[in-house]
Amino acid sequence: MGWEPSATTGSTVRLTGFGARLDALSPGGMDAEFDGEAGIFTLYVAGEPASLSEVLPLLHSLGLVVLDEHPHCLVREGAVAWVYEFRVRLEPAAPDADPGLLVEAFRAAWDGLVEVDSFNLLVARAGLSWREAALMRAYARFLKQVGLPFGPAQVVQVLERHAGTTGLLVELFVRLLDPDRASADEAAALEREARAAIEAVSGIDDDRILRAYLALVLATMRTDFFRISGSGRPASTITLKLASRSIPEVPEPRPLHEIFVHGPDVEGAHLRYSRVARGGLRWSDRAEDYRTEVLGLVRAQMVKNAIIVPAGAKGVFVAKGADGASCYRTFVSALLGVTDDLDVTTGEVVPPERVVRRDGDDPYLVVAADRGTAGLSDVANAVAEERGFWLGDAFASGGSTGYDHKTVGITARGAWESVRRHFRELGIEADRDEITVVGIGDMGGDVFGNGMLLSERIRLVAAFDHRHIFIDPDPDPERSHAERARLFALPRSSWADYDPALISAGGGVWPRTAKSVPVSRQAALALGLPAGTTASSSQELIKAILRAPVDLLWNGGIGTYVKAATESHLDVGDKGNDGVRVNAREVRARVVVEGGNLGVTPRGRIELAHAGGVVNSDAWDNSAGVDCSDHEVNIKILLNSVVASGALDRPARDALLAEMTDDVVELVLAENRAQNDLLGTARHRAVELVGVHARLIAHLESRGALARQLEALPGQDELDRRAEEGTGLTSPELATLAAHVKLMMKAELLSSEVLDEDLFAGRLLDYFPAQLRRRFPEAIAQHPLRKEILATVLTNELVDSGGISFAFRISEATGASTADVVRAYAAAYDIFDVAALLREARSAGTTLVANVLTGEVRRLMERATRWLLAQRPQPVAVAAETARYRDAVTALAPRLPGLLVGTDAAIVAGRTAAATALGADPEQAREAMTLLHRFCLLDVVDLARQLEVEPDLAARLYYGLNAHLDVDHLLSAVSALPQRDRWETQARLLLRSDIYRAVRALCADVMAQAGEDHSVEQAIAEWEDANRSRIARSRLILTEIAQVSPASVTTLSVAVRQLASMVSGTHVPLTAGGVHPAPRWTSVA
């Protein structure tokens, strides 16, 4: 039985040809055809009828003008189908449109594979397929996100007006990226042709748009455009991996790569600043400028990631479909669709199917939870595991088998280390003493909620989030802490759930949308409002909270609330909070800590620091979250390889991950403490090192590792002014500088060969928790990210212990590469057990005392590192040099105070007294003030080895002769020389090196002339007696020079020359490597 007209059709239907079309349709299916000559577009629908409101926009978007419409309802054996005949005509702009392309475009739009907008006109007017038109749409959406100032209608008009050039761009895309048709030669020819065509364009806007498209096509490294699904149709999304730094329209900071995903239901971008990079994926509601939203965040992410293995990355998507979780899944799947896989058993990279790779191997893609995606890590990991991606559930950190940040409280706990350090510098113990606090956030949030439970002495005076304003003018610390804990445990809590009976007099909770909020006398006093204030708008009340005269402003929320006075709200880029934002110089909180991102702008932090506020940066304060995630990912990568080998099953792996929670947390918090110690010591020496920091900033800028203006760092004129005024970099500036030093150092180590050598196996092990070090050392040694982990560990260790400018100053002084500095530093670190020295120094009394003692450890490290670079064969063999010196140095170090006599002993005594006066333990101070003299033990050990005497004897001779000749007076004069630029610094270093070289030679000279049974004192006396005339002449000149004040490089150069001239010449000089032949005598009584 065939299809027959329904009784309700009311017309005679031409059934011929309809039947076959309808028979091919499944229930709910659709088909279409277009007779261009007759001007009839026919739509076949099985099942429910189509509405004109669905169909007409699709036809109009294709450039078809609908003249009339005739519907026909057909039935067969109870089944219903509809045939719609539309009489249409093509627009004059597209008289020769291909009917087949139009039908395919209509089908794609009907099936939801493509959006219904003006880009579909390119099918009729430029002869593109619907998929090619979708590609042009995707590129246009990306250009909109990066700020190209043209709307879609204008872009379509340009592409249509220059249809030939548009066709060239599409063909170039094909020849670059189609697995079946890619051809470098043909692509090069097409590029030349396209450039010539664009050059002939007269309109400036047309030229800019077409050049932007050409740049995008050339910058496309990968795409899934040519992949067909099992159904034979392409996916609804188009994914483009772009080399962003080659696209002129992309604003700074430009990522190394970004993956742009565009489809009817979801759109987004994932920005990566290195091949090994990670950051959160956020669900944005800013469809028009979501890339701008994350661009500000990714700058902080880059700085934050300075302490972890990957560089910075950030992803963002907007859900245009109703189901956000499904859109997230689609977005994640699209990212993985253009990403390489890795065979963990062979280490072989597996490219994605039907993807041309113009950028080489790139298998590392990891993501993390962010705003809106906190509960979606398991979804992302499910996608990764379904695709067989090598990272498995290490792809998205924080899932059900990972370390949930809110449960662990890691971000808040890391930020609390900043709170502790800041208040300790102010003489307050934040865990013990009461502190008044205002905050941004609510107790249901991770960072705010966890943070406000870290001390029972917190007096939370006021807080606000996007819903409420909370004021408690005179809180009881214990009762309020208990109530906050209750709210934290209460699902989906808000400030409105706070028990009113526990709020002090004059307080309360009000909606943020309130037109007017009553202000009590108590609230006005707590917030520092003018006397007599009785009411306020909610916006002004939030401003008052931000300006409140409290101990701590704790940011645990979302949004930017403090800016510099020199910035406009437009500069900030957070329009939703324009009405409540204040200038930094208005903030009266003594300390500001940012557990959340971008609560204060970078320039706002600097203004706040100049106004006397204590602040780091958001990246510095809240880095524990990314650090924890990074440890989780790297541990999972390790354990997944163990599981793959059969040595561990998945349930045992999951149990082991849970068991290590506390160990991972401690590893993370240890780095937060180290970073705060680094920054605290840097603040202590900021004035002294302002010239060095100026040179360091210029150096980073010259290497392309820092954009001074973008990072809000001062220019050279400003730095010169600060040097003249006796000020240095502020804490947030130092934090930014330290982060970029770490980023550059990691990059330099990764590009060197030092990480390929088996020098740092112990440090690689130490990155992991103890359980893993014990059970899987072989697997750790084979970790796929072994080099990246080592680069991170070494960078953190060197910068945290040596200081921000340590490596730069060593390189500047010696010309050594970063890799060579790291080798020498690592040897010095191990020889002198610097880890133990730093632990003692940092735990000493007040932060001021700790800063002073830490400075002494750093002086020892710097001198020892330079000595190893100057005196030992290069590159420094870390293990061999450590073995050569460590035991003797360890044995001699405790005896050093007794070896120092004369001026040396007097100087140590004076500095010890000064440290003791600051509050240091006398014995600890005395040990710290002798540290600088320890590096000379390297000379002592060489003398003992080469002269075949006991190290103790060599030490007594070295320090005895040093005191006899008053060498320390000369060294002090050198230390007093200015170091305003690189060359003054270099002159100081060379003079000091020449002095130590002369002392070594003089020691050898004394030994060469001493009698066999003489004591050290007798040997020195005999040597002086034998060389009396020459030594007397030198002493006379040295005495005259000592009376010149102030000393200069010229006078001290003469003095050093005179010191060296005391050598008799009867001994054989030390070689550059410190080698000396055996002496006539081998022991001294």
Copy the structure tokens of residue 940.
Answer: 């002592």
- Residue for token digits 């409002």? 529
HEC-encoded secondary structure of 218-260: HHEEEECCCCECCCCCECCCEEEEECHHHCCCCCCCCCCEEEE
Count how many Cα atoms sit within 13 Å of the Cα of residue 511 in the half-sphere of its side chain: 3
Closest CA to 464 of 576, 412, 551, 539: 539
Q: In angstroms, what CA-CA distances link 1035 with 948, 958, 1025, 1038?
A: 31, 19, 14, 5
Closest CA to 338 of 224, 423, 494, 235: 224
SS3 346: coil
HEC-encoded secondary structure of 595-627: CCCCCECHHHHHHHHHCCCEECCHHHHCCHHHH
Q: Which amino acid is present at 69?
A: E
SS3 536: strand
Quick check: 596 and 618 in contact, CB under 8 A? yes
Kindly give, in sequence order, each residue whose CB lies less than 8 Å from that of residue 217, ignoring residues fewer than 6 positions away: 139, 169, 172, 173, 176
Strand partners, 240: 223, 260
Q: How far from chain centre, in Å, is Cα 458?
A: 31
Q: How many CB atoms lie within 10 A of CB 886?
A: 16
Closest CA to 785 of 773, 771, 767: 767
Strand partners, 75: 4, 80
Quick check: 953 and 1017 in contact, CB under 8 A? no
Instruction: Please tell me whether the peptide bond between 1046 and the residue prior to it is cis, using omega within 30 degrees of 0.
Output: yes
Q: How many CB atoms lie within 10 A of CB 794?
A: 25
Closest CA to 144 of 152, 135, 132: 152
Which residue in 241, 304, 314, 742 is the catalytic one? 314
Quick check: 32 and 107 in contact, CB under 8 A? yes
Handedness of CA 1050, 1054, 1055, 1056 (dihedral sign): positive
Exposed, middle or buried by CB within 10 Å (0-12, 13-18, 19+), for 941?
buried
The Cα 78–Cα 225 span in angstroms is 42
The Cα 803–Cα 291 span in angstroms is 35
Q: What is the 8-class DSSP label of residue 537?
A: -
| Whether residue 314 lies in the annotated active site | yes
Closest CA to 812 of 686, 678, 695, 681: 695
Kindly give, in sequence order, each residue whose CB lies less than 8 Å from that of residue 421, ignoring residues fewer than 6 positions away: 673, 676, 677, 679, 680, 847
Point out the residues that are catalytic.
314
